[in-house]
Amino acid sequence: MKKYIKIVLVVSVISSCQNLTQQKFNLDEANELEKVSYSIGINVATSIKSEGLDSINSFYISKGFQDVFENKDLAINIEESNKIIGEYFNKKQDAKNQKLAIDSKIFLDQNKQKDGVMTTESGLQYLILSEGKGNNPTLNDNVTVHYHGTLIDGTIFDSSVDRKQPATFPLNGVIPGWQEALQMMSVGSKWKIFIPSELAYGESGAGAIGPNSTLIFEVELLSIN
């Protein structure tokens, strides 16, 4: 809720920028307060857009701003405004999550039809790029791997390859999709694995990984430690 209260305050501030459309805008001749106000507008607008708001009604924003600063009776009290904003952003997030789930399902359905792609009972998909001759790790092993992780739209979210530093970790400490795939791989193998969200971070997501996201990794198993 604190997040939405912050948005309420931010939206109120941005409405003051509407007055700029009724004045001649010349930042070179602006005084300090005008420059600060314009800078606040830039920061506020950027913040609001990052929350998923892609359009605004400047008249209603201006009306809310004026009513507060002119101490007029508010058509909506603060508690109700917080609720309205919260419900709106929750609805937008739910729609985004649903679209991610649909896009992921379409991607996996199409991907499994491609030559060489195998699908396990759990729904994990993999493509063998090269096969090693070493042992297979068990769930209790530590492994060292090189990997490159992307979303289905090609966005890179993590890559030991880009860092030029292999990763070592206990196999039982990573997501289920990794656990399943790596136990099927022998040392020296390089696979491309396609992990459904239910074998990754599910409806919660993690950092740059949104809810219901299918993850794609190129993984090379370097050693079992």
Clarify whether 193 is annotated catalytic.
Answer: no
3-state secondary structure of 112: coil
Which of 201, 209, 216, 224 does the annotation list as catalytic? 201
Question: Nearest Cα to 194, choosing from 180, 206, 210?
Answer: 180
Catalytic (active site) residue 42:
no
Q: Which residue in the list 38, 88, 89, 157 is annotated as catalytic?
A: 157
List the structure tokens of 135: 């042992």
Buried b (16+ CB within 10 A) or exposed e, 3-39: ebeebeebbbbbbbbbeeeeeeeeeeeeeeeeeebee
Which of 175, 194, 195, 224 is the catalytic position? Answer: 175
d(CA 94, CA 91): 5
Q: 158, 194, 195, 209: which one is catalytic? A: 158
Q: Is 147 a catalytic residue?
A: yes
Q: What contacts 50, CB < 8 A, 6 or more positions away?
A: none
Q: Tell me whether residue 158 is one of the annotated catalytic residues.
A: yes
Which residue in the list 147, 194, 209, 216 is annotated as catalytic? 147
- Identify the active-site residue in 4, 107, 126, 217: 217
Residue type at position 165: Q
Residue 175 is among the residues annotated as catalytic for this protein: yes
Q: Where in the sequence numbering do the catalytic residues fall?
A: 147, 157-158, 175, 201, 217
